[in-house]
Each structure stands twice: as structure tokens, then as C-alpha cells.
Amino acid sequence: MYQQSGNFFRMPDHSAFYKVRTGMQWGKRWMIDFLVQLGRAWDSDIYWQIDESGNYSQIPLGDISVEGGSPPRWKVPRVGGHVSHRCGVDVDIYVISKDGTPTSKSFYGSTNYDLARTKELGRLILKIGKQDLEKVLIGGDDLVSYLKTKETEYGHSNVIEHDPGAMHLNHFHIRLKNKDGDKSC
């Protein structure tokens, strides 16, 4: 079903996603399953797919991990510019833009940022993530407030973390629970 390398699996091409960077598209099986389910949920509701001009909007998918994962932090401090993303349980998903263009350049407060559809994407992340979510890091007061009200609706407690700085104004940083007990993560 998925291309496999050790205990890592490659994110398959999916109509709901636009891969912002293609090099870091490897994750643990449950991460790839989560993303495929998220894509199916996004594709199932035409209302959220279409932007103001009638264009289909894909989910801009960022980094997961490198093939096979990467060494522990004490050996290699950063992987592809990240401190995390080494164990296949982290993923970056960018916010939705008003014109439907999949980009990492839209951010909370910019004129091209689509708050309504980004809220829906966040809601779907909470819904699909069920009890697998460890944390969701995102910036933007309105978005964070909305998602905090949705947490309990989907059985979560304190998974939404507000990043008031500029690091996560343009993307969700999602971490799933590490089910295989790898302590180096």
C-alpha cells in the first residue's frame, strides 16, 4: 500500500495534498494513515475545498521526516532546519490561502490568509487525530481560541498549544504520540 523503508513509510500522492517540499515525506505508519484520513475528510466536503474564486484548494503539506528517520538530537541537532521531525511522528501542514494557492507564504494576519477554511482544517485535524494527537502547535489568536473550544468536542485535553511568536503563524506543527516507544524522539 505505502512505499516502505525500515519502519518508515512514504506519504503517497493524494488529491487533497500539495507537497510543499518533497524530500521529507516519510513517517511512521500511523502518521501516514492520519494524513490519508485527513485528506479523505477534506475531499469529502466540497464547501471547504473551493476558494472565493471557485478554485479547488489543496492542503499544503510540509515536512514529515527523512527516509528512515534521522539520528537523535545529541548526534545531529537539526534535520532539514527542524529540531523535531526526526522520528516520523511530526508533520507541518500550512494554513489555507484565500486564492487556493498551496503555499507556505500565507500566514495569520496576511491578506491572503483564509481563517474560515484554516479553522475547518484545524477542526478536521482534531477530529481525525482522535486520541493519537500529542500536540498541535499553531499561532494566531482567533484560530487558537476556536481550536481550544473544539478540543473537548473530539476528546482531547490540552493538545492545542499557542505559539505567540512568528514560528508557527503559517503552519500547524502536529505531533502524534510515539506508539513504538522510541526513546530517542
Q: Is the residue at 183 inside a domain? A: no
Q: For the domain that residue 34 is a member of, what is the CATH number?
A: 3.30.1380.10
What residues contact residue 68 under an 8 Å CB cut-off, 6+ apart?
5, 6, 8, 26
Of 111-115, 149-153, 180-184, which has the strongest mean pLDDT? 149-153
Query: Which of the pair, 82 or 97, is modelled with greater confidence?
Result: 97
Q: Is the residue at 22 inside a domain? A: yes
**Do the Cβ atoms of 70 and 86 come closer than 8 Å?**
yes
Q: Is the residue at 63 inside a domain? A: yes
- Res 185: pLDDT: 63
Q: Is the residue at 68 inside a domain? A: yes
Q: 124 vs 22, 42, 53, 76, 87, CA distance in Å?
A: 23, 8, 23, 33, 23
Mean pLDDT over the full length of the chain: 84
Angle at 147 between CA 23 and CA 175, to 5 degrees: 35
Here the cell at position 105 is: 507564504
Predicted structure pTM score = 0.88
Q: Is the residue at 185 inside a domain? A: no
Structural domain span for residue 17: 4-176
Q: Is the residue at 182 inside a domain? A: no
Q: Is the residue at 166 inside a domain? A: yes
95 secondary structure, DSSP code: P
- The number of domains in the chain is 1
**Do the Cβ atoms of 37 and 53 come closer than 8 Å?**
no
Element (H, E) at 151: helix 141-151
Q: Is the residue at 165 inside a domain? A: yes
Residue 162 pLDDT grade (very low, low, confident, very high; cuts 50, 70, 90): very high
Whether residue 170 is predicted with pLDDT greater than 80 in this model: the reply is yes
Q: 23 vs 60, 67, 69, 105, CA distance in Å?
A: 14, 8, 12, 19
Whether residue 49 is predicted with pLDDT greater than 80 in this model: the reply is no
Query: Which of the pair, 157 or 52, is modelled with greater confidence?
Result: 157
- Res 74: pLDDT: 42
Judged by average pLDDT, the poorest of 18-22, 30-34, 121-125, 176-180 is 18-22
Residue 150 pLDDT grade (very low, low, confident, very high; cuts 50, 70, 90): very high
Positive or negative torsion for Cα 80, 10, 118, 128: negative
**Do the Cβ atoms of 86 and 132 come closer than 8 Å?**
no
